């Protein structure tokens, strides 16, 4: 269980960094959010190669930063609308595909003889198999679309009810789609990853209320 609390601590630190960036560029919050969305998406993709036993389930180390990516998407959807968020999702899909292709292409380039052994290790980290890459892209597109739809569907609901419900459902979709396509429908693995992701969802309030403060200020000017 210690790893879960460590993940919470890392998550809080990440959100504080995001809020600092938003404070520094508070006149361009939409731009900062888009940058954070693409940045966290890429970081999660590479950190995902390490698996971690969180005590409540096994999940990639990138789960922590991936859940901050979900929070950023929710913030864009809530404060800038469904169309804005879906544009980011679609761009993120092609961006993620380009990163996966670049990683694969890098793995195909021949290393010098003295670096060959180390290159094999590096390639195993940066270049996922085609099956995993396709599973990741499919899970991302489907779950992100579900997330944006739910968080913008009932604007009269409390902001946290919208954020938490969308994240709870979309992460079930994301995990089920990815694991099923990449490794087969392994129920125990799917459940473990869902629990780890759900444990990170409450932290989203930090970013949502932090962004809300500055968006509200801008709209009243």
For range 16-25, the mean pLDDT: 96
Residue 13 has pLDDT above 80, yes or no: yes
For residue 218, what pLDDT is reported?
Answer: 62
Asked whether 194 and 172 are in contact (CB, 8 A), the reply is yes
70-123 per-position pLDDT tens digit: 999 999 999 999 999 999 999 999 999 998 888 888 888 888 989 888 887 777
> How many of the other CB atoms lie within 10 Å of CB of 123?
16
- Render pLDDT for 186-221 as a digit per residue (tens, 0 to 9): 888 999 999 999 999 999 999 999 999 888 766 655
User: Does residue 1 carry a pLDDT above 70?
Assistant: no
Model confidence pLDDT, tens digit, residues 29-38: 999 999 999 9
pLDDT over 80 (residue 25): yes
Angle between helices 2-24 and 204-219 (to 10 degrees): 10
Domain spans in the chain, listed from the N-terminal domain onward: 2-219
Q: The pTM is what? A: 0.92
């Amino acid at each position: 269980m210690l790893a879960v609390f460590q993940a919470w601590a890392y998550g809080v630190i990440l959100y504080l960094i995001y809020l600092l960036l938003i404070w520094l560029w508070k006149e361009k919050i939409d731009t900062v959010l888009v940058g954070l969305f693409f940045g966290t998406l890429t970081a999660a993709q590479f950190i995902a190669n390490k698996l971690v036993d969180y005590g409540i389930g096994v999940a990639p180390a990138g789960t922590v930063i991936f859940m901050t990516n979900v929070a950023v998407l929710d913030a864009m959807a809530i404060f800038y609308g469904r169309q804005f968020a879906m544009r980011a999702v679609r761009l993120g899909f092609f961006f993620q595909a380009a990163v996966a292709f670049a990683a694969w292409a890098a793995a195909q380039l021949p290393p010098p003889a003295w670096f060959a052994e180390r290159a094999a290790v590096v390639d195993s980290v940066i270049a996922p198999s085609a099956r995993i890459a396709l599973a990741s892209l499919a899970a991302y597109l489907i779950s992100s679309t579900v997330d944006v739809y739910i968080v913008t569907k009932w604007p009269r609901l409390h902001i946290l009810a919208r954020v938490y419900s969308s994240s709870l459902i979309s992460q079930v979709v994301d995990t089920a789609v990815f694991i099923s396509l990449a490794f087969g429908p392994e129920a125990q693995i799917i459940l473990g990853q869902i629990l780890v992701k759900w444990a990170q969802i409450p932290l989203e309030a930090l970013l949502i209320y932090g962004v809300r403060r500055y968006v509200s200020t801008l709209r009243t000017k």
